[in-house]
Amino acid sequence: MSDKKPLSIIKIGGNIIDNPVELSEFLSDFSKIEGNKILVHGGGKSATKMAQSIGLVPQMIDGRRITDKPMLDVVVMIYAGEINKNIVAQLQANNTNAMGFSGADGNLIQSTKRNHPTIDYGFVGDVQKVNTPLLQTLINSRIVPVFCAITHDKKGQLLNTNADTIASELAIAASEAFEVTLSYCFEKAGVLTDVEDENSVIQQINSALYDKLKTEGAIHSGMIPKLDNCFNSLSKGVQKIKIGHHKMLKDETAIGTSIEL
């Protein structure tokens, strides 16, 4: 039996953030989770809408955003500004003492600019390290950190970073001191074999089944980096990972997909 205290890390994305009613319901449920917790959020759809409204054309490759300088300005404004602070304000309204962070704040998440042999991702960051002592101090101070999908390179450059990866890296870092449960919440009931069929939830998935479904094309796009992060987290000390609709936070009967090595 572990003597570590439990820690819930929850990442929200997709249509939850874009839907004020869904977001309000989620934040109310999140506030009711007992004990230590961290919230990580994306916001890609909002950033895409803002970019298009000022004439930028968003580009995605395998579920990851190409981020040139104008797009970086947009995602920093939307992720670290509008979305992050609105979430923190709503959590305060739910009596949850939250603080909003980018990776630059307190040097909490340091990244390097992605160096890919064939694709120029622009100002996209790959996480190098988490400031684990400060993260533990925040949690032990009963602060609820709310992280957006922005990190930095410690040379003055902000970087757009996959929110699923941020959640995974925070979970790995926190697992040194806590028994971590990582939940990826979005608008679907779990990992689906058919994205049009909510009843096609894969209730449990291991690495062998994942490889098979990727080869068959049943799992693709943004679900690939999400699941890659899940398996990486489990291999590095995270206790439990689940993907599904945010209702699974309060409803034990909600299906969701459990991830196993």
For the stretch 206-226, pLDDT in tens is 999 999 999 998 898 778 888
Q: Is 32 exposed, middle or buried (0-12, 13-18, 19+ CB in 10 A)?
A: exposed
The whole-number pLDDT of residue 250 equals 84
- Which residue is associated with the tokens 């449990």? 204
Q: Is 232 annotated as a binding residue?
A: no
Instruction: Choose the CATH number for 5-259 among 3.30.460.80, 3.50.40.10, 3.40.640.10, 3.40.1160.10.
Output: 3.40.1160.10
Q: Is 43 annotated as a binding residue?
A: yes
Q: Is 65 annotated as a binding residue?
A: yes
Q: Please count the CA atoms within 13 angstroms of the CA of 113 that sit on its side-chain side.
A: 15
The whole-number pLDDT of residue 1 equals 54
pLDDT in tens, 74-96: 999 999 999 999 999 999 999 99
In angstroms, rounded to a whole number, what is the distance separating the alpha carbons of residues 215 and 211? 6
* pLDDT, averaged in runs of 10, over the chain (261 residues): 88 89 95 97 88 92 85 96 97 98 98 94 97 98 98 98 94 96 91 87 93 90 86 94 90 84 87
Paired residues of 124 in beta bridges:
160
Name, in order, each residue with C-beta under 8 angstroms of 163's C-beta and a sequence gap of 6 or more.
11, 13, 40, 41, 42, 43, 147, 148, 149
The whole-number pLDDT of residue 220 equals 82
Domain-wise residue ranges, the chain: 5-259
Cβ distance 248 to 183 under 8 Å? yes
The whole-number pLDDT of residue 125 equals 97
Closest C-alpha among 189, 201, 185, 181 to residue 241: 181
Q: Is 95 annotated as a binding residue?
A: no
